[in-house]
Amino acid sequence: MYTIFKVAQAELRNMFYSPIAWLLTVVFFVLCAWQFVVPIEEYTRMQQVMQESDPDWLGFTAGLSWEIFAKSYGQMIDKLYLFIPLLTMGIINREIQSGSIKLLYSSPIRTRDIVFGKYLALVAFNLVLITCVALFLLTGYFSIAHAEYKWFLSALLAIFLLACTYSAIGLFISSVTAYQIVAGIITFVVFFALYAIQDLWQQYDFVRDLTWFLSISGRTNQMVAGLITTREICYFLIIICLFIGFTLIKLKSTQESKHWRVSTIRYLTVFVAALAIGYCTSRPGYIGYADVTVRQLNTLHSATQAVLKELDGSPLKVTLYDNLLGKNMMAGLPEHRNKYIRDFWERVTRFYPNIEFAYEYYYDAMDGDSLYIKHFRVKNLHEAADKYAEFTGVNRALFQSPEEMRKKIDLKSEDYGLVMQLEYKQKKTFLRTYNDIEIWPHENHLSGAIRRLTRDSVPELVFTTGHFERSPFRRGEREYSNHTSSKDSRGSLFNKGVNIDTVNLQTNDIPSKTSILVVADPRAALDSVERNKILHWLDQGGDAILYAEPGKQEIMQPLLERIGVTADKGTIVTLNKHEMPDFFQGRITDTGANLGNELPLYVYRMLHTPPMNVFHKGAVNLSYSSTGGFKIQPILDAAAKEDRWIENGHLVADSAAPVFAPQEGDIKKERYITGIKMSRMINGKEQRIIVTGDADFMSNGRSMGEKLFNAGYSWIMNNEYPVYHLSAFPEDKFMRIGKTGGKILKPVFVYILPSLILLTGIILLIRRKRK
């Protein structure tokens, strides 16, 4: 060990007695300064402007520990490879070229002492570079209130391990050739190959896993994001040991006169051992995780973890079905398989490793869908698949025919798109992808699917039908499919574990499995049989949502009066030169904002932003009295305005603007209530009901359901569905220093300190030369 330190000391002395180490340090420092200090200056300037404009400003919405330095980390990691080859290209071949290597061989110093000593010197220089980065992160720590220092340390670890890996590679390349320039060029080529290999031959199973393991691309991403894993740490250590081992073998072979096969076997032995260790350290269930972010941003939400605990450890089989002619086809191909596992499923396998993955590839199309046949001008679907496979460059032999696939499963109900089927204890359900930039489902979709597998029953939303009510299945502008049953919509309750159904009360009773009965704007009067069934449901404590509309108050009133609510006559109008008078913006009350954790409501509660708007296209005012033991609270309202009233005369919305006429029954109120929630204890349970004076705001055309008011359904379901997975808001949202302090940092770090480092190097080199 003493010899190793002496070799390292001599190598460090040699580095810093030459201009190259000082020049690299100065350039690296300036680059760091520009990447880290400039964002700090920008945010101090923005903060001062915002605080001067609004004394009650609540700070930046994104965490500054990440927001300021995220781009900086990426820039430093992307440019780090430019520095290391310049340092390593002569570290061993310099000894070979000068002949001093023979003196080392003849001395009592062992080969491994030489290699480890020189590598230790490189590690020490890497620490110098890391110290530069650490200085700026330390500045950030004192510049940002509640800065996440553990996150900073994780990013430092990532950069340090990457630099050490580069150094090990450069060390080996330096031993391969006696020419420094050639060694530098080859090192750059090897770096490029290790980055590019991840995208090569990914369609082949064995090669895909091999190249994915060897690739260095993206290995620092998780640590930079605040997630330290034993897999990534082991990867860097394995690659470091691999190339140090190669270096030892190379130098050893120059001292021996053995056949080349001996060296080849040694290289292969080290390589296979590295692969075996890498395989063992990357298996699900054997990977250690440390999420160092305060808000646990890289970890499944605690609510999702609770859902996974409903699984008892039995195998969960996930089969990905990918249609050559379907949506999101490229994301499901074999070449993207590792990305699919890492980006979506790794967070899950961290907590439930007993997951089996399977893949099925096929081609098919919905009945009557002749898009590809017409586009490629072919006769049938088989020829269309051949043409499209040729067009996209995928392996046509990978995909099964429709006939072969339908013997296994018919995916017509899923529109033959990219979909996952989850199978657990002989129960099956689908987990869908979406036609947007994210493609893969969110945690709440996964939680909904898991609960379908683990629970004997899931909530049932049952909509009444038979009187032209809003339909949960139709896609029209006035209908409700987007937030209820649509399989294509991220916001639909069906994709989050809730079943949707309809019932015609003229011929059927309300199903016993009904969780929420929804009466959504019937256009014709209910007969006595239907009305009595609904009233009996309400009297027995059944949960319900009742959507009323202007002009049809008398249809809903027999139901509403039983629970002490009145849909007032007339229509709320607001004069607006840009819109028809029955269109206006209502508000969600504080009570309404607490119904559930839909993202807009959560942001509203956390940031105390102005009242949230709900867009009404025709609404009635609701009056109520506390009868029947109900606790009633408004959840939607509209403030009083001079040009807002309840119009009781004949309203033609697309004609001349209405005029307030008290003699015709027009009324102005101090507050217009358009939505209420009601609750009471009855028959040993809490009954929950929501009544609104508008049905349009939940329609497909308005899209307020899936984006906002699914919270109403959630409240009635005791907030068990959907499973929300929102993170806490960041605490690091203010800068500690002001605009002046930010301005001072730039000249100090970009100009003054680099100049001092450069001056120190010049003085040292001049004094060394004089001696």
Cα angle at 551 between 549 and 552, to 5 degrees?
65
The number of beta carbons lying within 10 Å of the beta carbon of residue 478 is 18
Query: Does the residue 724 lie in any domain?
Result: no
The number of beta carbons lying within 10 Å of the beta carbon of residue 75 is 15
Cα angle at 694 between 647 and 696, to 5 degrees?
115
Q: Which are the contacts of 247, defined by CB distance < 8 A and separation ≥ 6? A: 92, 115, 168, 171, 172, 175
Distance CA 322, CA 386 (A): 16
Query: Does the residue 190 lie in any domain?
Result: yes
In order, the DSSP letters of 582-641 are TEEEEEE-HHHHTS---HHHHHHHHHTPSPPEEEEES---EEE---TT-EEEEEEEEE--
pLDDT attached to residue 254: 73
Domain end call among 401, 436, 453? 453
In order, the DSSP letters of 685-703 are EEEEEEEES-SGGGSTTT-
- Residues 706, 561 share a domain: yes
Burial of 182 (0-12, 13-18, 19+ CB in 10 A): middle
- Residues 646, 561 share a domain: yes
pLDDT attached to residue 537: 95
Query: Does the residue 722 lie in any domain?
Result: no
Decide: helix, strand or coil at residue 168.
Answer: helix
Domain end call among 453, 488, 505? 453
pLDDT attached to residue 591: 92
Given a cut of 70, the residues of the chain with pLDDT beneath it are 95-108, 202-203, 255-257, 610-611, 704-706, 771
Burial of 257 (0-12, 13-18, 19+ CB in 10 A): exposed
- Residues 440, 370 share a domain: yes
Alpha helices, DSSP H, located in 149-228: 149-176, 180-196, 205-214, 221-224
Query: Does the residue 586 lie in any domain?
Result: yes
Query: Does the residue 298 lie in any domain?
Result: no
pLDDT attached to residue 704: 67
Pairing outcome for strands 671-682 and 565-567 = unpaired
- Residues 258, 340 share a domain: no
Query: Does the residue 729 lie in any domain?
Result: no
Nearest CA to 679 among 671, 670, 689, 665? 689
- Residues 59, 168 share a domain: yes
pLDDT attached to residue 67: 86
| Site of tokens 């330290």 | 228
Decide: helix, strand or coil at residue 69.
Answer: coil
pLDDT attached to residue 676: 96
The number of beta carbons lying within 10 Å of the beta carbon of residue 201 is 12
Name the domain count of the chain.
Answer: 3
Pairing outcome for strands 644-647 and 516-520 = unpaired
- Residues 187, 280 share a domain: yes
Residue pair 126/16 in contact (Cβ under 8 Å)? The answer is no
Distance CA 80, CA 160 (A): 10
Token representation of residue 54: 């609004």
Residue pair 423/410 in contact (Cβ under 8 Å)? The answer is no
Q: Which are the contacts of 364, defined by CB distance < 8 A and separation ≥ 6? A: 323, 325, 326, 381, 402, 405, 406, 411, 416
- Residues 231, 159 share a domain: yes
In order, the DSSP letters of 353-392 are --EEEEEEEE----TT--HHHHHHT-SSHHHHHHHHHHHH
- Residues 331, 281 share a domain: no
H/E/C letters for each residue in 508-568?
CCCCCCCCEEEEECCCCCCCHHHHHHHHHHHHCCCCEEEECCCCCHHHHHHHHHHHCEEEC
Q: Bridge partners of 289?
A: 229
pLDDT attached to residue 92: 80
Query: Does the residue 726 lie in any domain?
Result: no
Q: Which are the contacts of 237, defined by CB distance < 8 A and separation ≥ 6? A: none
Global pTM reads: 0.88
pLDDT attached to residue 638: 92
Residue pair 233/161 in contact (Cβ under 8 Å)? The answer is yes
Query: Does the residue 728 lie in any domain?
Result: no
pLDDT digits (tens, 9 = 90+) for 321-363: 999 998 999 999 998 888 899 889 999 999 999 999 999 999 9
Rg of the chain, C-alpha, whole Å:
34
pLDDT attached to residue 96: 65
Both ends of the chain: CA-CA distance in Å?
30
Residue pair 466/523 in contact (Cβ under 8 Å)? The answer is no
Token representation of residue 223: 């640590």
- Residues 486, 414 share a domain: no
Which CATH number fits the domain that encloses residue 674?
3.40.50
Distance CA 47, CA 54 (A): 10
- Residues 485, 398 share a domain: no
- For 635, the domain range is 457-716
Torsion of CA 22, 26, 29, 34, to 10 degrees: -170
Domain end call among 453, 472, 500? 453
Token representation of residue 144: 């940002």
Which long-range CB contacts under 8 A does 647-653 form with residues at least 24 apart?
647/570, 647/571, 647/572, 647/573, 647/581, 648/569, 648/570, 651/571, 651/573, 651/581, 651/582, 653/580, 653/581, 653/582, 653/618
- Residues 472, 448 share a domain: no
pLDDT attached to residue 82: 86
pLDDT attached to residue 59: 84
- Residues 315, 268 share a domain: no
Residue pair 522/470 in contact (Cβ under 8 Å)? The answer is no
Task: Tell me which amino acid residue 379 is.
Answer: K
